[in-house]
Chains A and B, each alone.
Chain A
């Protein structure tokens, strides 16, 4: 009986507050659930049809795809670069790792506020720095005007948050690579770039795959950063923001369930795709 006593609190939480709600999301997305227009009744694919007819939702699908592409690409490239920097021991390495993980530990909301100080059109660091360097003559508006620029600026804030974990996951994979592989590489006269291409990158694939999956989950569900940096403005609104507006402002929970379900399925499909594409088992 002891094992069941030990796991039952966990099981209770997982069943009652994760599995049952997840199942409920699936079922309820086929129902009309509107707080302002009861009663709740079965409505087939109606929620999905209305979602895809909603131009704001359609636009946010495009926005979210851009968030994912920018976020996954940048966090992976930066993560690998940072992991390679930390691959071999040197003095101050552990301090550098603490510096590295700082952005990961901070709340997304506050990161949004912190980065407002960089993007701001009147007092922002970027405008001031570009102006001091004579790259621009007039202060620019980075947020809320051009769609791509807005999304890039917002996503960079999320990249700031998720890159540390990517770097750590890749670093863990790198530290499993036996050092003598590089030594035999040196004897062959392999350049640093060739060693990186032929030894580091292939052997880090398991770590890179996990890093990309965590980036996919984070970016496909981005909320805090666009909500803080751009508020309810339609430019650059993400799918999760639409879910929030539809459910908790329009009080159309049925559509909210349907959109949650779409985001969840998209997250699972893209994550699996990344694993298939990138993950290769490695044995030493």
Chain B
């Protein structure tokens, strides 16, 4: 057992150092001035921590803070709306697949799952073409439609696994009492499925927050560009100092990091539901 303990300690250190070092380093860089960052060897702790990089990123009227603020609004709208629609549609479909018998259900469910095996970028160019045909390039609608279609299969799969694991007896009792299927879904199944729905919503939101190539193609200016695209554009401009870029990076990961810190139980259970069966 003693050796096992030694190995586990090594594993724990591996996980902590591996996961946190890059994030720590970005925070450390973002709290320094350009002069401090240029020092060799580097400052492993910020000598005089300053928030001026963060102020330069988000406040004032310059080009950069304008882009960051606007793209922050965009990313919240796109991720929020896409998450709500995805979870709502996936919940309805997952209930039907898990509990109702109907012709074609197996084929449709298989088709939904099969799309998960395809790389998302298979449809990059045709989706761009479709959106440009309907005048939806550079609109929230275009990006949200693409997100919903992309995340629906996984959301349906997670919720299907979750609902299949719920006890049938309560639903049947509801049916015996004369409630309709919709009433059972609304008053019995939904309250029981809340943890699964939360998991699905968080995972969908995080996936949406991380998107880059699709919004890069589907949004040509700041009216719809999400934070990821705006930050990549900053990085492409050579005059933007790395301290400022690091502050923008830390700013962009604050929301997903906060979600992981507070809601990680839901993420883990969602990712694992149905994955190993």
A and B physically associate: yes
A: residues with CB less than 8 A from B are 2-4, 6-7, 9-11, 13-14, 16-22, 24-25, 28, 78, 81-82, 84-86, 90, 94, 96-103, 105-118, 120, 122-125, 128-129, 131-132, 139, 160, 163-165, 168-169, 172-173, 176, 192, 206-207, 210, 217, 220-221, 223-224, 227-228, 231, 240, 243-244, 247-248, 253, 256-257, 260-261, 263-264, 267-268, 271
Verify B41–A85 contact, CB threshold 8 A. Answer: no
Q: Is the CB of A17 within 8 A of B146?
A: yes
Within 8 A of A (CB), among B1-46: 3-4, 7-8, 11-12, 14-16, 18-23, 25-26, 29, 37-38, 40-42
List 4 tightest A-B contacts by C-beta distance, closest first: A85-B11, A17-B149, A21-B126, A3-B102
Q: How big is the B interface, by class?
A: 35 or more
23 contacts between A and B (CB under 8 A): A4-B102, A6-B96, A7-B108, A9-B93, A14-B149, A17-B127, A19-B115, A82-B11, A94-B264, A96-B12, A97-B264, A97-B268, A106-B253, A110-B252, A114-B26, A123-B242, A129-B41, A139-B40, A169-B276, A228-B232, A248-B128, A264-B118, A264-B119
Known: A113-B235, A132-B41, A221-B119. A160 touches B22 (CB 8 A): yes
Q: Does B198 contact A (CB under 8 A)?
A: no
A168 CA to B22 CA in the complex, in Å?
21
Interface members, chain B 189-221 (any A CB < 8 Å): 206, 209-213, 217
B121 on the A face (CB < 8 A) = yes
Number of CB contacts from chain A to chain B under 8 A: 271
- Cβ contact within 8 Å between B115 and A14: yes
With a CB–CB cut-off of 8 A, which chain A residues contact B248? 113
Bound CA–CA A101/B149 (angstroms): 25
Tell me the complex Cα distance, A210–B101, Å: 29
Report the minimum CB–CB distance from A209 to chain B (whole Å). Answer: 10
- Given A114-B22, A247-B125, A125–B42 Cβ distance below 8 Å? yes
Q: Is the CB of B153 within 8 A of A109?
A: no
Q: Smallest Cβ distance from B113 to chain A, in angstroms?
A: 10
User: Given A10-B90, A25-B125, A99-B16, 11 other A-B contacts at CB below 8 A?
Assistant: A7-B108, A17-B145, A107-B211, A109-B229, A117-B242, A123-B29, A123-B242, A172-B276, A221-B121, A257-B125, A264-B118
Q: Which residue of A lies closest to B234 (CB)?
A: A113
Q: Does B148 make an interface contact (CB < 8 A)?
A: yes
B123 surroundings in chain A (CB, below 8 A): 17-18, 21-22, 25
B109 to chain A, nearest CB (A): 9
Answer whether A240 and B121 are a contact pair too, CB < 8 Å, given A14-B115, A100-B15: yes
Contact B209 A107 (CB under 8 A): yes
Q: Chain B residues near A4 (CB, 8 Å)?
A: 102
The A interface is mostly helix, strand or loop, or mixed, namely helix
| Contact (Cβ within 8 A) A114 B23 | yes
In the complex, residue of chain B having the shortest beta-carbon distance to the beta carbon of A210: B275
Chain B's closest residue to A81 (CB) is B11
* Interface locus among B51-59, B61-69, B171-179, B255-263: B255-263
Which one of B90, B96, B252 contacts A107 once the chains associate, using CB atoms below 8 Å? B252
Within 8 A of A (CB), among B114-132: 115, 117-130
Pairwise interchain contact B261-A98, C-beta atoms closer than 8 A: yes
Chain A residues near B275 (CB, 8 Å)? 169, 172, 210
Is B105 on the interface with A (CB-CB < 8 A)?
yes
Query: Main SS of chain B's interface residues?
Result: helix
Contacts of B169 in A (CB 8 A): none
Nearest chain A residue, comparing its CB with the CB of B257: A102
- B6, closest chain A residue (CB): A192
Q: Are B118 and A9 in contact (CB under 8 A)?
A: no
B188 lies within 8 A of chain A by Cβ: no
Given the interface pairs A102-B257, A105-B259, the reply to whether A6 lies near B119 with Cβ below 8 Å is no
A90:B95 contact, CB within 8 angstroms: no
B84 at the interface (CB under 8 A from A): no
CA distance A174 to B103 in the complex (A): 38
Residue interface bits B265-277, CB-to-A below 8 A is 1, else 0: 1011001100110
Q: How distant is B213 from chain A, measured CB to nearest CB, in Å? A: 5
Which of B130, B149, B276 contacts A207 (CB under 8 A)? B276
Q: How far is B117's CA from A259's CA once the two chains are assembled, in angstroms?
A: 18
CB-CB nearest in chain A for B209: A107
Residue contact B257 to A105, C-beta cutoff 8 Å = yes
Measured CB to CB, the nearest residue on chain B to A27 is B126
Contact B122–A118 (Cβ < 8 Å): no
Nearest chain-B residue to A239 (Cβ)? B121
Compute how far the CA of A224 lies from the CA of B215 in the bound complex, rounded to whole angstroms.
12
